[in-house]
Structure 1
Amino acid sequence: MKLRRSSATHLRALLLLSSFAVSVPSFGQTQGFNAEEDASAARASDIVVTGTRIRRAAAESPSPIAVVNADQIKATGTQNITDVVNQLPALAVTQTNQTSNLAGNAGINALDLRGMGTQRTLVLVDGRRQVAAIPGTSAVDLSNIPSSLVERVEVITGGASALYGADAVAGVANFILKKDFSGIEANTRYNASTRGDMDTYGFDMLAGANFADNRGNVTVYGFYENTPGTVSGSDRPWTADGYPIYSRADSSQRYVVQDHVRNINTSDSAQVVLGGQLYAIDRDTGALRAPILGPGGFVNARPVDLDTSTEPLGTLLTDGGEYNGRYDGWFLSVPSRRINTRASASFEVSDALNLFANATYADNASKAGYLQMTAFGTDVVPADSPFITDEIRAAAGGSVPAGGLQFARRFMELPAPRTEYDRTMFQAVAGAQGDFSLFSQPWNYSAYYSYGKTTQRVRDVNSTAYDRWYLGLDSTTDADGNAICRSTLDDPGNGCVAINPLVTLTPEMIDYVTYSTHASKSTLTQQVVSGYVSGGLFELPGGAVQLVMGAEYRKERNDIGAIPEYDPDSPLFDPTIGTTAGTLVGNYSVKEAFGELHVPILKAVPFFDTLSIDGALRLSDYSTAGRTTTWKVGGEWAPIPDVRFRATYGQAVRAPNIGELYTANSISGLWITDPCNDYNLQNRVERTEYTAANCAILNPADTASYWLYRDIISSGNLELKPETAKTLTVGAVMQPRFVPGLSLTVDYYNIDLRNAIDAFGPQTLINKCVDQPTLDNIFCPLIERDENGNLESVASQKLNLAQYLTRGIDFGLGYSLPLENVGLGKGRLSIDANYTRLLKRRYTLDPDDPNSVTEYAGVFGSPKWKGVVRTSYANEGFYFTWTLRHFSPMRSSSTVTAEDYEDVYTPDVFYNDFSLSAPLTESIEISGGLNNAFDRKPPRIPGAEAGGANFELSYQSGVYDVIGRTFWLSLRFHR
């Protein structure tokens, strides 16, 4: 059955590709063009493409390059260029407005080529480095590059590290902006969902003028966009109406999907188990009452024995009633406000000297939203607390256990917690470029200086101070019978407020456990000086041998600030919150020399229409990581003009960035579970044959508690070394002359990354410690246990340990047909199909442990087939586009297999987007569209209902659309 599903999926994808074998262009490989005459023009002219600094025809690029042009950007109706570029099959789900609520750094929009991580994707603007948006990282926020300013985007997915340096392990995305603009263009946009939310308002204006007989140009740009409203899990039926889980009655059965379940601990009213029976406590009076269950009552596939279960409140499920949704309060898409301005100028003194300069300022504000505090059933009201009523004692058989009364509840009376982000970015570039002759060959040069600064401010609003919470929860009575905190007996002036969690919290209690902070301030400054010369050396039968030589110096400094209330060195430090964070200053510099060589051996001879080889080399000297060498070699062979073969092989090196090296020590709390507790020893799927023996050695005293709230200590690692990847691409380009305008491409890629710098989640570190053959491993020193063997804290830092291996095949098809050529009237039909077949995405946590290898191909975020097909019709200013996006079946986890599960995969999911534009006058154009036009809902496979949440390969929720159908309208004025 598994083979049949896989084969069917392959067949569907191949049929879809072949059915569009009459198709379009530049959203895919550069070999596809909008028209036959466009292709001829492109072949005839020499331009610079992202895959090389050598001036050559785009169709002869040595590496596969995907291109998104301005028309395709406009057809999406979004100002966020990330939403457009992420549709390319080579891009994995990463930081977007739909995923960044839980991923952290809300409002950041970044790219992740091949699923290798945003830190391994280099973003350029006009071929120059862009300053990162998050201090301590290399992640560029693409929302600082408004889509209406972009002329095209070129994405090269292999062999780019030698050309452009570190961070290009997986590839490069180069955003080419509109330049030398003359005239005025203004756009106003309105976007919203068809459910009456997600309102977005945007306006931008571009104006430019030439002077000095068109030798000079000045262009200015301004942009404003605001999405003020919020969309949370309670606003969509697929996240509000319970959620699907895998369940089974006993181990002899396979797991099946059980839908619409709700946890008992999500009620607004406290839930307690007394005398083997579940009770709810009235929030206003404190009286016991029967819980309001869903129509199915308790729906656990394996019934929970309330008399013997140690944690019934954490495991009981129902299908409705008074219980809330799992995702209530979580933002499905973060609100944001963006402002961007840019000014550029250029002046051609002569052919040999063209001066240019530009400056960009961006201000982005966003916020993340979370659920109010939830007690999951392990929190306890002490047995001597005055808040335990006589009714509760009577229902418990006369007295509550000596360990206290366990309860579960969601505290909806608490204000909704938020994290607010405000980021400003300034970058200025000045340089010169020009043409000259050398060795009787044309040469050119380009040099620039760039200064960039990012400032990020972060504050927490309405957060819960868990240290205060547990102090307040530990209540007793004073000599007069008044409720007080137990800690107050020893420290009368500590300000602790005794908390009664069984009823609605009083304003005094709420004020005590919640807090809002001042903002932290972190800055990143980047300076780059870079230049190169390029030109011909001598002639060979295939043409002139082309050489590039260049050098670059880059210096970065990070001043990482801390929220004052978390910083022990700040006068505003509040130790009762339970979170600490320090400040630091980190910096590094790198000096680089690079070169590139293109050797055209033969041209226009039998069996060798073209034959050439290419090479590139980059030597780097980091102040932190020492010297590194990056290189690549490649070649092209076209036996006839219709078919061209290409290949590149190289070594990519990435040095650790400032955040990985210097992250300031911070301590925060997190709910974790001990793999040595009774439940995990019996049921944790990832446990190994060594787990039980290792746990016996550790011998924790507490094996009953499941969830534990413990300290997580995060820090940088100055011992990190560079990571190294070997990259290979092999492909072919077919442009048959008997079908003018048709382009077909196929490229195989393979990236093998070793000694990868990676952060392992605290739970992963805890599990891996006891899953190894012995406790003498690299993970256990990061785990702190007390004298009784119980978990106390986890130290989380990045290590040079992991391995990534990803390989697959990219398919591109483009065709553009003038309809009058086939007697169908005026206009042009264009179709563009791009698909990727993911063959492998293997992640090895610990190369010394054969059990730590995980295959993620086919898991959420890594579909085996991902594609986008755009069909367009254009005629005299009228433009219509249909975009079809496809994800092949995926499963929620690598451990979900057909042997143990009945419903393993989601179905094939297709999204349909439609857009059209039409001129109203010569200067005014109106356009609009529908995205996810048929309101395709997320599949009902566990995790997919929230967008494809995957906790194995970092949390992400943007695989499936969780917003639903949206529409947009735009009015454009140009003159």
Structure 2
Amino acid sequence: MTITISRRNAWRALGACGMALGSQGGWAQDGAADMPTVHVTGTRLAAPGAESPSPLQILSAADIAASGATNLQELLQKNPTLGTPAFSRNNSNFLPTSGGVTSVNLRNLGDARTLVLVNGRRFVAGVSGSSAVDLNAIPTDFIERIELLTGGASATYGSDAVAGVINIILKRNLNGLSFDASTGRSSHGDDFKKKMALSYGYDSADGRTSLMGHLAYTRQGAVSSRDRDISAQDQISKMLSSGLAADAFVPVRNYSVAAPQGRFFYNKDAAGKAGNYTYDAQGNVIPWSTNGDAALGLAATGFNRSAFRTIAVPTERYLLALNGEHAFTPAVIGFVEGNYSSTKVRTIIEPLALSSADFYKSSNGQVPAETMVNGVAVRNPLVPQYLFDRSADSTGDGLRDYSFSRRLAEIGNRQAGIDRDTSRLATGLKGTLDGWRYDSYLVYGKTREHQRADGQVDLQKFRNAMQAIPDAGGAAVCADATARAQGCSPLNIFGYNTISPAALAYVTVPSILDVEITQKLAGASFSGEAFALPAGKVGVAAGFEWRKESSSSVPDALTQGGLNSGAALPATSGSFSVREFFAEARVPLLKDRAFATDLSFLGAFRSGHYSTVGTANSWNAGLEWRTADTLKLRATRALSTRAPNINELYLPPSQVFPTGIVDPCSGVTASSTGARDTACRADAGVLANINANGKFTLSQPDIQALSGYNRGNPGLKAEKGRSSTVGLVYTPARFTFTADYFNIKIADAIVTTPRQYALDQCYNGGNSSFCQFITRRASNSGAFSAGALTYIDSAVTNSGGTGTSGIDLTGAWTGTLGPGRLAARLAYTYLKEFYNIPLPGTPADQAAGEVGYPRNKAMLNLGYQWREWTLNSTTSYIGASAVDDQLLAQFKQPAGSVKVGAKVVNDFQLSYALRKTLSLYLGIDNAFNTKPAPVISGLTGDTVGTETNASVYDPIGRRYYLGVRGSL
């Protein structure tokens, strides 16, 4: 809920909120007296003249229009208070679930600690098992403004508001029809964008009924990795092979060893040595050379995965929104809010890669080249003579065997079609009785997602199809009689395009995932003035809220059992409910004194009882001290709580494929010294590798095959975040300046153990408790080396804590400049500290100044209007950022010693008013085509397929759009 600031106090309120009049919204005004009424997030009090004691920034509908943003995340991510989102178009292509979701992350404290509200009330989540709202479900062109309240706000709004609140206020006052349509593309000819939006508002003649509706369609096209120079080649940071920090941003070709023609390993050649080979396009046997070797005349036989990957997933949305009110009596007003969105997303990655270790686990990845029939070893007729002659019995079963890796190009790309629908209905009564405002509401929200992923195989069927014997006529048939009866067709993996359509039809299988998220909400509150003190009336508010959250994510049976070729995903379901009571008070302490024009205390308390973790209490306290008409000081202290979500509590082991992991044991020899070296040699597989190679050596398959499991923890308890803010607001005529210091510390933070950190602590930090998350191969297996990392798991715990601190500065000015009017707004954040403590008693992992956590971040908005012309610009700045200190420690480099440079991105929009209610506009984003920072594969924070951190830097480049907007 929000409160109203009177017109007389609007200018000061805007300054107190840290807001500058943006672009078109400020040009039509000529002084504070004409400013529109403004609502302030952060309190439920209805006291006139109330202002936010916490840092608050506001983005208006004019800001949204001036950005040309199709999706709300595109605009919000430019604000320096926002951190790296867990989900976006640019980072979700490889996720097994939630592809194409767009979320927000205040202060980099996590999506789960950022509470998203719509019209002051919670919105149903878009990600199963979490509280993360999918901004795709909210129509951008139907937004009146967005209010970003940073700092703990759980006492006011409940759990999840540890980092702050993003309150999205939808339009309420609209008469007639308005429209906005645009189309655009990138300078590379991709990232096609279309938007069509219609809004209509109606007021009854007697003024008792108002109704508004909105209908929109948006489409954003795909961007392929191969179409950008930085990501066209499958590559890796040279630092990982050279060991030199200076090579961190030098890319080295790193093709996949799983190629469409296959790579085959045998146990002996004519000289009795093991080896491997592959095939050329004509089916000839040739030496394997992953990236090629010009000195030896060897062509690259590896596979360039980047030729098939996607930087930005294509997203299509249909949106419907309704707002309505009816005054039954002057004191009783009924309202209704409705939202519906249908989002269609398609994720695309390269064809499936398999190795024999995927489905011959019991034989350490060795595939029999023969089958025992009636006590006689019968050769598999699919196995070429070249390989059969070089195979030997390595498993002790009396049968020759071999191993392989192969890309199943015959199946085509792996693609997931995702249909995600979100619906929400809120209704209730509000009004004023005897000077007291009341608000009661019921809310029901549901998100449904259906995902079908193609390009995968049934591992058991694949094994059946590979194991063949000759029939009476000498033709190959599946060895297993039951499999033959079920349609098994022999599958030939040796060479290009050798898998027959019949074999593909037998082994291919889609994976299915169905998600359902439900939110039920009921509440009521009242607010008013209880009594008067010498300095003014005391405002109070109180109320209650009941909420129930349910979520289920159910993959098909094969996926649950890890029996197909995708990630093993278990079914996850759960629910919780909470009953909460809250109260607030605003107490005026001094007024019209020489040293205090106004001094007020604000306090709030909330007590919630969760079905999962029991009672959780939150509070906040703040002071507002206006020392002069244009200067105000403010301070808050808050205790915020966050109860664990459904995934954190109930997620069974769920498979993921982490990237950017560096094995601490790389390069360890039999005689090297140090605690790390001793810990590495204690592993039998690592020691066997050292004995065989002279030092611990990893192959590309070892690096590319790494997997791991995430798991929840039903024993979690609620985390507690303590936040403090101290700031000032200076508001002379036409100028606003705010400065705020923030400090947020979360005790017992619910965190997942970082994988690289677990590795470093196990081998470098002397903390053996982390070794429980790590599994290595006991011996070599075809393409895989003894001692290579197989799994690094991660668990959720109440571990140590996390925190951040820094300074926010905002400044704004609006006025006449030359023949026109200029509006300028600057927002800047300096990050002093950011840390995470993975386990109690362990060292804090400092991140401030690293990629994703820049020390300096800023946004400058400029708008100039002259007659019918309006020019808007947005300049985004991300300061120089260092490579993760945990990774640098592997190469004996100090923290902060290896950095990517600062990046500046400029966006412009020029519009021309054909008449008062109709405008044409032309926009260009990333106008100077600023290249993303080279966060190459292998460096912490890289986004697969982009060779940068696509959650932080723009991986797409320059983009244009043209549109028309107006009203009738």
Q: TM-score, normalised by structure 2?
A: 0.83
Aligned ranges 1:405-424 → 2 under 5 Å? 410-424=407-421
Cα distance change of structure 1 residues 477 and 854 upon mapping to structure 2, 3 Å threshold: farther
Q: Distance in 1 between matches of 2:254 and 2:774?
A: 35
Q: Counterpart in 2 of 1:696?
A: 682
Alignment correspondent of 2:806: 808
Q: Which sections of structure 2, spanning at least 5 residues, go unmatched? A: 1-10, 358-364, 371-379, 396-400, 690-696, 780-785
Q: Which amino acid is 1:730 matched to?
A: V
1:627, distance to aligned residue in structure 2 (A): 0.4
2:909 matched to 1:918? no
Question: CA separation in 1, counterparts of 2:191 and 2:335?
Answer: 39
- Cα distance, 1:371–1:700 mapped onto 2, change above 3 Å: same
SS at match of 1:728: strand
Cα distance between partner residues in 1 of 2:918 and 2:607: 52
Instruction: Name the CA distance, whole Å, in 2 between partners of 1:763 and 1:514.
Output: 35
Q: 1:365 aligns with which of 329, 334, 344?
A: 344
User: Which residue among 716, 719, 724 is the counterpart of 1:720?
Assistant: 716
Whole-angstrom distance in 2 between the partners of 1:407 and 1:450: 55
| Aligned length, in residue pairs | 902
Letter in 2 for 1:356: F
The residue number in structure 1 matching 2:645 is 657
Residue type of the alignment partner of 1:890: S
- Residue 43 of structure 2 is aligned to residue 52 of structure 1: yes
Return 415-424 or 350-359, whichever deviates more: 350-359
- The answer to whether the Cα contact below 8 Å between 1:937 and 1:961 also exists between their aligned partners in 2 is yes
AA aligned opposite 2:871: F
Amino acid of the structure 1 residue aligned with 2:332? L
Q: Which moved more, 1:707-716 or 1:644-653?
A: 707-716
2:927 to 919, 922, 933: 933
Secondary structure at 2:900's aligned position in 1?
coil
Find out whether 1:780 has 2:772 as its counterpart: yes
Q: Distance in 2 between matches of 1:43 and 1:62?
A: 24
1:79-90 correspondence to structure 2 within 5 Å: 79-90=70-81
Give the alignment of 1:290-301 within 5 angstroms.
none
Question: Are 1:339 and 2:325 an aligned pair?
Answer: no
Shift of 1:66: 1.0
Q: Deviations over 1:58-115 (max 9, x none)?
A: 8831111011111111112122111111111111121121122134411211111111
Matches of 1:246 and 1:148 in 2, distance apart? 46
Give me the whole-angstrom Cα distance separating, in 1, the residues matched to 2:778 and 2:938: 39
| 1:114-165: CA deviation from partner (whole Å, max 9, x where unpaired) | 1111111111011011111223221111111111100100010113111100
* Pair 1:222–1:816, CA change in 2 (3 A): same
- CA deviations 1:269-298 (Å, max 9, x no partner) are 445798899965214424326869669669
Q: 1:355 is aligned with what amino acid? A: G
- Structure 2 CA distance for aligned equivalents of residues 106 and 601 of structure 1: 52
Tell me the distance in 1 between the aligned counterparts of 2:685 and 2:405: 28
Partner-residue secondary structure (3-state), 1:190: strand
Distance 2:952 2:661 in 1: 30
Partner of 1:595: 583
Q: Secondary structure at the match of 1:111?
A: coil
Query: Contact conserved, 2:224 with 2:309, CA < 8 A, in 1?
Result: yes
Greater CA drift, 73-82 or 255-264 = 255-264
Counterpart residue type for residue 412 of structure 1: A
Other-structure match for 1:13:
none
Give the match's secondary structure for 1:515: coil
- Which residue number corresponds to residue 233 of structure 1? 225
Q: Does 1:160 align with 2:153?
A: yes
Cα displacement (A) at 1:794: 7.0
The CA distance in 2 between the partners of 1:277 and 1:714, in whole Å, is 36
Distance 1:459 1:564, change over 3 A: farther
Residue number in structure 1 paired with 2:90: 98
**What's the TM-score once normalised by structure 1's chain length?**
0.82
Amino acid at match of 1:332: I
Q: Which amino acid aligns with 1:610?
A: D
Q: What is the CA distance between 1:856 and its match in structure 2?
A: 1.6
Pick from 506, 509, 516: which aligns with 2:510?
Answer: 516
- Measured in 2, the distance between the counterparts of 1:295 and 1:781 equals 38
Change (3 A) 1:400 1:833: farther
1:609-663 CA deviation, whole Å, 9 max, x = no partner?
2222211111001111100110111112232223222111111111112232233
State whether structure 2 residue 615 is matched by structure 1 residue 622. no
Residue 101 of structure 1 aligns to a residue whose secondary structure is: coil
Residue 71 of structure 1: SS of its match in structure 2? helix
1:139 to 132, 136, 154: 132
Q: Which residue is 1:16 aligned to?
A: none
Q: Is the 1:594–1:619 contact (alpha carbons within 8 Å) kept by the matching residues of 2?
A: yes
Report the residue type matching 1:347 in the other structure.
H
C-alpha separation in 2, matches of 1:248 and 1:772 = 21
Distance in 1 separating the partners of 2:620 and 2:797: 27
SS state of the match for residue 186, structure 1?
Answer: strand
Distance 1:515 1:726 in 2: 50
Q: In percent, how many aligned pairs have the same letter?
A: 26
Residues 1:817 and 1:538: Cα distance change in structure 2 (over 3 Å)? same
1:288 corresponds to which of 286, 289, 307: 286
What does residue 10 of structure 1 align with?
none
SS in 2 for 1:968: strand
Amino acid at match of 2:64: I
Question: What is the RMSD computed on CA atoms of the aligned residues?
Answer: 4.3
Alpha-carbon separation, structure 1, partners of 2:638 and 2:676 = 40
Deviation at 1:915, TM superposition (A): 0.4
Specify the alignment match of 2:692 in structure 1.
none
Structure 2 residue 107 is the aligned partner of structure 1 residue 114 = yes
Aligned CA distance change for structure 1 residues 256 and 212 (closer, same or farther; 3 Å) = closer
TM-aligned CA distance change 1:326 to 1:833, over 3 Å: farther
Mean CA deviation greater in 42-51 or 874-883: 42-51
Distance in 2, Cα, partners of 1:259 & 1:604: 66
- The equivalent of 1:848 in structure 2 is 841
1:642 match:
630
**Counterpart for residue 186 of structure 1:** 179
Q: Which whole-Å CA distance do the structure 1 matches of 2:861 and 2:774 have between them?
A: 50
Cα distance in 2 between the residues matched to 1:412 and 1:608: 75
| 1:377–1:858 distance in 2 versus 1, CA, 3 Å | farther
Matches of 1:292 and 1:765, distance apart in 2: 31
CA contact (8 A) 2:729 2:738 kept: yes
User: Would the alpha carbon gap of residues 471 and 690 (structure 1) be closer, same or farther in structure 2, given more than 3 Å must change?
Assistant: farther
CA distance in 2, matches of 1:780, 1:260: 33
1:353 Cα shift? 2.3
Q: Which amino acid aligns with 1:938?
A: P
Q: 1:468 to 1:809 in 2, by over 3 A?
A: farther
Q: 2:595 aligns with which of 593, 607, 627?
A: 607
CA contact (8 A) 2:774 2:789 kept: no
Q: Give how far 1:586 is off.
A: 2.2
Matched AA of 1:448: Y
- Taking a change above 3 Å as real, the CA distance of residues 271 and 455 of structure 1, as seen in their structure-2 partners, is closer
Structure 1 letter corresponding to 2:237: I
Whole-angstrom CA distance in 1 between matches of 2:649 and 2:704 = 29
**Structure 2 CA distance for aligned equivalents of residues 930 and 364 of structure 1:** 26
Unaligned 5+ runs, structure 1: 1-22, 300-317, 569-573
Give distance in 2, aligned partners of 1:935 and 1:118.
29
8 Å contact from structure 1 (residues 279, 289) kept in 2: yes
Once the two structures are TM-superposed, the CA of residue 945 in structure 1 deviates from its matched residue by 11
Q: Specify which of 806, 823, 826 is matched with residue 833 of structure 1.
A: 826
Aligned letter for 2:174? F
| 1:226 partner SS | strand
Residue 729 of structure 1 deviates from its aligned partner by 1.2
Give the drift of 1:213.
2.3
Contact 1:723–1:756, Cα closer than 8 Å, also in 2: yes
CA distance in structure 2 between the partners assigned to 1:934 and 1:677 by the alignment: 40
Give the conservation status (yes or no) of the 8 Å contact 2:934–2:948.
no
In the alignment, is the contact (CA less than 8 A) between 1:772 and 1:849 conserved in 2? no
Amino acid at match of 2:849: G
Structure 1 residue matching 2:899: 3-state secondary structure: coil
